[in-house]
């Protein structure tokens, strides 16, 4: 039995080399993948390249001698990610081509030729090579976890098994489109107050460091040691403290940010921060509705595509994006594994609203749970739109009033001594 020398990548992106004994090259590739590795080069032992410079020549020589049997599988960097919007357009285009009657391999070749994103183009080239060597589309996608996540791979696998790959790809594109839309809504709701607050901090810093000290010099020259109004003295003291302790304040901010990141990496810290997100004033309701919409949309899309319920719950748990939701989904998974329904553990979690529990219960009783989950997602996405509009209408005047009060207080404090000076001159 011939021996094959291989070079492969593990799940962390580290390169590994080794040998396997197999009847042919396809069997060797399958054996390598069973080890959890992604082969980038598989050559017979006699054609093993020596060094980086000789590797290309050896591959070309081996390919010419074996009639093109030896193969190199292209793979992008494991650190590269593709934006959801680009991946959504890619998926929609692929679904359209397959729905038009083109074979999968031909569809991938068409998409690869016109794909402008380098990582996605290289990944598509690798997908073509893998499928040509006998891999399924889902297996080929699994080699690129940084681009195609578990949800994507499992839905494609279900579509391949059911013979409805074009339908599943369309559902994936719609799912990503709606997820992107709701993400944009939430981001826009949070960006505005953050920008206004940053502008307020910048203005206050400029006033404290530059403007107020100059006014203090003017007051010392004109008032000749006379007392200042209480409000003016308070603002001047705040400016002095700010200037003298600016490095300490900056260092404290840096320390807080670092501590926040370190705490977020721990299990208890991630859970605590996610709990605060769901219970935060104003934004807590928005984040909770977004999480519910994401959970129901993802689970409904997976189940309607033919993914088994336990596998679908596992994927939803891993892609929840919130530790409270993930733990609740894990409890649901364990209950379903024991033969129970979803509604009771969903209700016991305390994370999901009663309406979600009731609709899931009705969906299980009628046998239309995927359709019911999609209806819940539609309803909560509409609620997110309304909540964003409501928050924007509340936050805008509050921030304007806050900024006006702070700046107005400083202006009044600086003008009170000037009024007194003008009165004395008069």
Task: Verify that 111 and 6 share a domain, yes or no.
Answer: no
Residue 87 contacts residue 120 (beta carbons within 8 Å): yes
Task: Verify that 33 and 99 share a domain, yes or no.
Answer: no
Which pLDDT value is given to residue 57? 38
Domain region containing 378: 179-426
Which pLDDT value is given to residue 51? 41
Task: Verify that 304 and 254 share a domain, yes or no.
Answer: yes
Q: Does residue 136 lie within any of the structural domains? A: yes
Task: Verify that 251 and 123 share a domain, yes or no.
Answer: no
Q: How do residues 235-266 score in pLDDT, each as one tens digit?
A: 888 888 888 887 887 888 899 989 888 888 88
Which pLDDT value is given to residue 9? 63
Q: How do residues 266-296 score in pLDDT, each as one tens digit?
A: 888 888 888 888 888 777 888 888 888 888 8
* pTM score of the predicted model: 0.63
For the chain, the domain total comes to: 3
% of the chain at pLDDT higher than 90: 1
Task: Verify that 40 and 112 share a domain, yes or no.
Answer: no
Q: How do residues 324-375 score in pLDDT, each as one tens digit?
A: 888 888 888 988 888 888 888 888 888 888 888 899 899 988 888 888 998 9
Which pLDDT value is given to residue 309? 87
Which pLDDT value is given to residue 77? 41
Closest listed residue to residue 147, CA positions, set 74, 84, 73: 84
Work out the angle between the directed axes of helices 323-337 and 283-304 (0-180°, nearest 10).
Answer: 40
Highest mean pLDDT among 65-69, 99-103, 160-164: 99-103
Phi, psi of 286 (to 5 degrees): -65, -45
Which pLDDT value is given to residue 393? 79
CATH number, domain of 419, equals 1.20.81.30
410 band by pLDDT with thresholds 50, 70 and 90: confident
Question: Which H or E run includes 299?
Answer: helix 283-304
Place of tokens 């593709």: 82
> What are 133's two structure tokens?
């060597």
Which pLDDT value is given to residue 255? 92
SS3 (DSSP) at 87: helix
């Amino acid at each position: 039995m011939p021996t094959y020398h291989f070079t492969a990548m593990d799940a962390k992106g580290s390169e590994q080399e080794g040998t396997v004994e197999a009847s042919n090259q396809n069997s060797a590739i399958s054996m390598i993948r069973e080890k959890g590795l992604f082969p980038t080069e598989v050559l017979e032992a006699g054609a093993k390249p020596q060094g980086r410079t000789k590797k290309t020549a050896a591959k070309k020589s081996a390919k010419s001698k074996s009639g093109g049997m030896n193969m190199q599988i292209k793979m992008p960097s494991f650190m590269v990610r593709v934006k959801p919007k680009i991946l959504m357009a890619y998926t929609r285009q692929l679904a359209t081509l397959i729905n038009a009657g083109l074979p999968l391999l031909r569809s991938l070749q068409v998409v690869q030729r016109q794909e402008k994103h380098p990582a996605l183009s290289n990944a598509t080239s690798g997908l073509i090579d893998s499928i040509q060597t006998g891999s399924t589309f889902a297996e080929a996608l699994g080699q690129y976890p940084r681009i195609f996540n578990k949800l994507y791979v499992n839905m494609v696998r279900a579509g391949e098994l059911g013979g409805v790959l074009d339908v599943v790809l369309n559902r994936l594109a719609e799912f990503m489109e709606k997820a992107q839309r709701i993400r944009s809504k939430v981001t826009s709701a949070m960006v505005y107050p953050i920008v206004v607050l940053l502008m307020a901090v910048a203005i206050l810093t400029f006033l404290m460091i530059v403007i107020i000290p100059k006014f203090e010099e003017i007051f010392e020259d004109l008032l000749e040691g006379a007392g200042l109004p209480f409000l003016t003295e308070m603002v001047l003291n705040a400016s002095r403290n700010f200037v003298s302790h600016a490095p300490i304040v900056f260092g404290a901010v840096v320390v807080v940010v670092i501590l926040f990141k370190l705490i977020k990496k721990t299990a208890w810290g991630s859970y605590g921060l996610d709990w605060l997100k769901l219970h935060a004033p104003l934004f807590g309701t928005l984040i909770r509705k977004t999480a519910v919409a994401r959970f129901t949309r993802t689970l409904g899309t997976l189940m309607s595509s033919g993914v088994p319920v336990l596998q679908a719950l596992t994927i939803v748990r891993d892609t929840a994006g919130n530790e409270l939701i993930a733990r609740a989904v894990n409890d649901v998974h364990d209950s379903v594994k024991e033969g129970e329904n979803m509604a009771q553990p969903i209700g016991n979690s305390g994370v999901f609203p009663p309406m979600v529990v009731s609709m899931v219960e009705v969906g299980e009783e009628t046998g239309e749970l995927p359709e019911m989950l999609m209806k819940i997602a539609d309803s909560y996405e509409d609620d997110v739109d309304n909540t964003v509009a409501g928050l924007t209408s509340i936050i805008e005047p509050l921030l304007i009033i806050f900024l006006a009060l702070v700046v107005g207080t400083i202006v009044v404090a600086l003008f009170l001594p000037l009024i007194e000076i003008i009165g004395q001159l008069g």
